[in-house]
Amino acid sequence: MFVITAERPGDAAAIDILLDRAFGPDRHGKIAYRYRRGVKPVAGLSLVAHDAADASAAGLVGSIRYWPVVVGGEAPALLLGPLAVEPARRGESIGHGLIRRSMAMAAAAGHRAALLVGEISYYGQFGFDPAPPRGLDMPGEAPHRLLVAALAADGLAGLHGRIGPAPEAHPAADIPCCTARLPA
Ligand SMILES: CC(C)(COP(=O)(O)OP(=O)(O)OC[C@H]1O[C@@H](n2cnc3c(N)ncnc32)[C@H](O)[C@@H]1OP(=O)(O)O)[C@@H](O)C(=O)NCCC(=O)NCCS
């Protein structure tokens, strides 16, 4: 059993260890990390999963964060990731719970679209589709791994072009709805 909560400052060290184990210590060299350098994750969308019997950082079993990006030089979007689950706890729907919960929160906060670099075989169930056929491009990344999902009814309308790092925090990041409570 696990519990999903908002990430707390005391979780950061345990998340770094989890991410190093999931992606390797050279993970900062990945293309997606170019979009995270010097930019804070989107406020209110960083969630963690803990073992139901251990709410401390030592019981952390999963993490998800989102970063702000800009598409086509002007349209704000979210970059989902990294997402990681403790190897011994995979297959318990922790990843499913972290994605579903955070995407619902992102939609409630007014975000319109989420991008990620990952497998369609996993992320397709959450509404992600290949992004290149929609005219989206992340330089240096394998096109078949670039995925996009709408968070609003017309969230993908007009969303095309090259994905770039956000020059500053996404405006919707300051909407306080999601830090206050988590939707069920
Ligand atoms: C991907 C990950 C977050 C999934 O977490 P999880 O809590 O095990 O996921 P869930 O329990 O929600 O789903 C498990 C199912 O997804 C499948 N799955 C996991 N990773 C997958 C992948 N890359 N492609 C396709 N299916 C995948 C599992 O085989 C399992 O299938 P089953 O239910 O038919 O047995 C976890 O495997 C992980 O941390 N992997 C290493 C880091 C990583 O790859 N992160 C994603 C970056 S794109």
| CA-nearest residue, atom 15 of ligand 1 | 91
Average pLDDT over residues 123-152: 97
pLDDT at 157 over 60: yes
pLDDT at 89 over 90: yes
Report the share of the chain in percent with pLDDT over 70: 91
pLDDT tens sequence across 107-121: 999 999 999 999 999
| Mean pLDDT for the chain overall | 90
pLDDT at 151 over 50: yes
Confidence of residue 168 (pLDDT cuts 50, 70, 90): low
Dihedrals phi, psi of 107, to nearest 5 degrees: -65, -45
Report the share of the chain in percent with pLDDT over 90: 78
- pTM for the model stands at 0.91
Neighbours of 184 (CB within 10 A): 5
- Ligand 1 midpoint to CA 120 (Å): 11
Residues 6+ apart with CB under 8 A from 86: 18, 21, 60, 61, 62, 94
User: Nearest CA to 19 among 68, 60, 79?
Assistant: 60
Give residue for tokens 């020059």: 167
- Ligand 1 midpoint to CA 158 (Å): 31
pLDDT at 163 over 90: yes
pLDDT at 175 over 60: no
pLDDT for res 181 = 41
pLDDT tens sequence across 20-78: 999 998 998 888 888 888 889 999 999 999 999 988 888 999 999 999 999 999 899 99
- Ligand 1 midpoint to CA 85 (Å): 8
pLDDT at 179 over 70: no
Cα dihedral 142→64→80→125 (10° resolution): 80
Check pocket membership of 120 for ligand 1, CB cut-off 6 A: no
| CA-nearest residue, atom 30 of ligand 1 | 91
Domain limits for position 107: 2-180
pLDDT tens sequence across 91-111: 999 999 999 999 999 999 999
Check pocket membership of 122 for ligand 1, CB cut-off 6 A: yes
Check pocket membership of 41 for ligand 1, CB cut-off 6 A: no
What span, in angstroms and rounded, lies between the C-alpha atoms of 114 and 70? 11
Nearest ligand 1 atom, CA 95? 7
Check pocket membership of 68 for ligand 1, CB cut-off 6 A: no
Count of alpha carbons within 13 angstroms of residue 98, beta-carbon side: 29
Number of domains in the chain: 1
Q: 144: domain CATH number?
A: 3.40.630.30
Check pocket membership of 95 for ligand 1, CB cut-off 6 A: yes
- Ligand 1 midpoint to CA 168 (Å): 31
